[in-house]
Chains A and B, each alone.
Chain A
Amino acid sequence: MFNDQADEDLMVMYQKGEVRAFEVLLTRHRKPVYNFILRFVGDRETAEDLLQEAFMRVIKGAEAYKRQAKFTTWLYTIARNLCVDQTRRRKHRKHASLDAPMDSSDESGTLMDVIPSNEMASDRKSVNKQLHETMQRAIAALSDEQREVFLMREFLDMPFKQIADVVGVPENTVKSRMRYALEKLRLELDDYKDLAKAAP
């Protein structure tokens, strides 16, 4: 019964005290939100905390939700704000993790690149793994504004209008950021063009 309901209907049901509706929402959106946060902040532990916090905020602010708003817009706005706050705090602490980009001006990528890897891309599996790691580094190298737009557009398949609502900027700004993000990724992955073609 609940699984067939739209997100907005489930949220309205939860507003009326139906906890099962929230359970369905949690099951439906927990994984994509987690991966969005993980790709945004690049740290699993932080992503877990932020995921927990995001759904806690959904629970606490359930009364404030309006049926007219798209649930995913509301949910990803919460998640995105948490991610932005987290990255700001991290910049203030000047604490760099192994997965975090070293410097925006440094085009060499992350600290992972500095650590020598003896692993050779001997087979397709290792090629894919290498490509994915390179892609993750390239995404992490994007600015926060470009990254959030890129993640929502390419991984969550959101329309530009909805992304604009989540980010709180005009739609054209979102498109511009997306264009810049793709150009930057193209530059980052230029050395891996052949590998990308070989990828399945």
Chain B
Amino acid sequence: MTNDDADDSDAPDDPVTRSMRSVWLTMREEDPPTRGLADLMIAARAKAEALQPREPWWHRAFAVMLRPPVLALATVVVLVGGAVVINNRSANLDVPTRSFAGDPPGVEQKPPAEERTRSLERPGAQRGAGSAATPGSIPVAGTGQVAEPPSLGPASTIERPAIKEPTKVPLQGATTKEKVGANSEGTVEVKPDGRVVNEKAADADKREIGEQTGLDFGGLVIAKDDAPATDSTADSMRTPAVPAPPSKGAQLDGEAVTQTSAGVRSARPQGPSVEQLVMQAEIAAGRKDCPAVRVTVDRIKKLDANVYKARVAKQAAIARCLK
């Protein structure tokens, strides 16, 4: 007996048993036939597949999503969805408004015919058109000022407010500069919106004001871009303007219209405020740019004589230039 278990002691182990054991231990063991072995292995493989642990559903779903066709489909969906959203937003923002910037008189706005037609077909466009046709002042929110009514083209001519480009874009034939004087430091001009600009000194002004106010005037637009376009270049510069809703608080036909940030940018006052003119006069006086000082002071006098008396006339530098 080969077992070394403790219970082996109970097994009989006499000479007769040993001789019998020697007989049965020499009995040949037969090999099992291979018949049915293949069936067993087929069944074992099938069962093994069933026994394999299944991945969680989210793991399998993630694996499916990583396949190229699914990724391509997802890309197409995102692109189409993005295009739809942008298109919808564009349609919402495409409320025709009249230009808040003063258009030079006699210059007819020429939007593309199809855009004009489309604008007139929309209810908002009709409202805008009606508003544009209504003469009168437009109160500009926050400033307390009343913008001068811009000269409008025909009632059906509706123009989107142009976004002021941060860079100075020279527009051929678009200038309405009015030369009022010249000195050694440059030409002094009065813009259609009433600002007085000395081209050569403008950059110096911007630097100085930037130093005083902490603002970056590097991209300040001096020349207006709402000058009448006389060629295709000017038209092309005006066309890509982003449509914006009317200015906040702007009363168009007695109707309050919500203003967006784009609208704030586009709804500039017609000209520089008295404060700005005073500042310009001070800076020009400090620079000893007397022609500019004179022009600016004239504007201040016209706008607010009290300010002129209280603040401008008392300044020695300005007074020197005015002598």
Interface membership of B255, Cβ < 8 A: no
**Given contacts A56-B43, A62-B51, A175-B7, is CB(A48)–CB(B30) below 8 Å?**
no
Chain B interface (Cβ within 8 Å of chain A)?
2-3, 5, 7, 10-12, 16-17, 19-33, 35-37, 39-41, 43-45, 47-49, 51-53
Within 8 A of B (CB), among A1-45: 14-19, 22-23, 26, 30-32, 34-35, 38, 44
Give min CB distance, A93 to chain B, whole Å. 23
Q: Which of B5, B32, B41 contacts A31 (CB 8 A)?
A: B32
Interface membership of A85, Cβ < 8 A: no
Interface membership of A94, Cβ < 8 A: no
Q: Which of B30, B40, B53 contacts A17 (CB 8 A)?
A: B53
A157 near B2: Cβ-Cβ < 8 Å: yes
Chain B residues near A139: list those with CB within 8 A. 24
**Given contacts A15-B51, A63-B51, A160-B10, is CB(A52)–CB(B36) below 8 Å?**
yes
Give min CB distance, B95 to chain A, whole Å. 65
**Given contacts A26-B40, A135-B27, A186-B17, is CB(A16)–CB(B53) below 8 Å?**
yes
Chain A residues near B45: list those with CB within 8 A. 19
Interface membership of A168, Cβ < 8 A: no
Chief secondary structure at chain B's binding surface:
helix
Docked pose: A155 CA to B22 CA in angstroms: 12
Interface membership of A179, Cβ < 8 A: yes
A68-91 Cβ-contact flags toward B at 8 Å (1 or 0): 000000000000000000000000
Chain B residues near A32: list those with CB within 8 A. 29
A189 near B20: Cβ-Cβ < 8 Å: yes
Interface membership of A128, Cβ < 8 A: yes
Give min CB distance, B23 to chain A, whole Å. 5
B23 near A131: Cβ-Cβ < 8 Å: yes
**Listed stretches A96-104, A107-115, A192-200; interface member:** A192-200
**Given contacts A22-B44, A48-B35, A193-B19, is CB(A128)–CB(B30) below 8 Å?**
no
Interface membership of A171, Cβ < 8 A: yes
**Given contacts A15-B51, A59-B44, A186-B16, is CB(A160)–CB(B5) below 8 Å?**
yes
Give min CB distance, A146 to chain B, whole Å. 14
17 residue pairs A–B, Cβ–Cβ below 8 Å: A16-B53, A17-B53, A31-B29, A34-B31, A35-B29, A56-B40, A59-B47, A136-B27, A157-B2, A157-B3, A160-B7, A175-B7, A179-B12, A189-B23, A193-B19, A196-B22, A200-B22
Chain A residues near B24: list those with CB within 8 A. 135, 139, 154-155
Interface membership of A178, Cβ < 8 A: yes
B36 near A48: Cβ-Cβ < 8 Å: yes
Docked pose: A35 CA to B33 CA in angstroms: 11
B30 near A34: Cβ-Cβ < 8 Å: yes
Give min CB distance, A131 to chain B, whole Å. 5
B40 near A59: Cβ-Cβ < 8 Å: yes
B19 near A197: Cβ-Cβ < 8 Å: yes
Nearest B-chain residue to A155, judged by Cβ: B24
Nearest A-chain residue to B31, judged by Cβ: A31
Docked pose: A154 CA to B39 CA in angstroms: 31
Interface membership of A182, Cβ < 8 A: yes
Docked pose: A157 CA to B31 CA in angstroms: 19
Interface membership of A167, Cβ < 8 A: no
Interface membership of A92, Cβ < 8 A: no
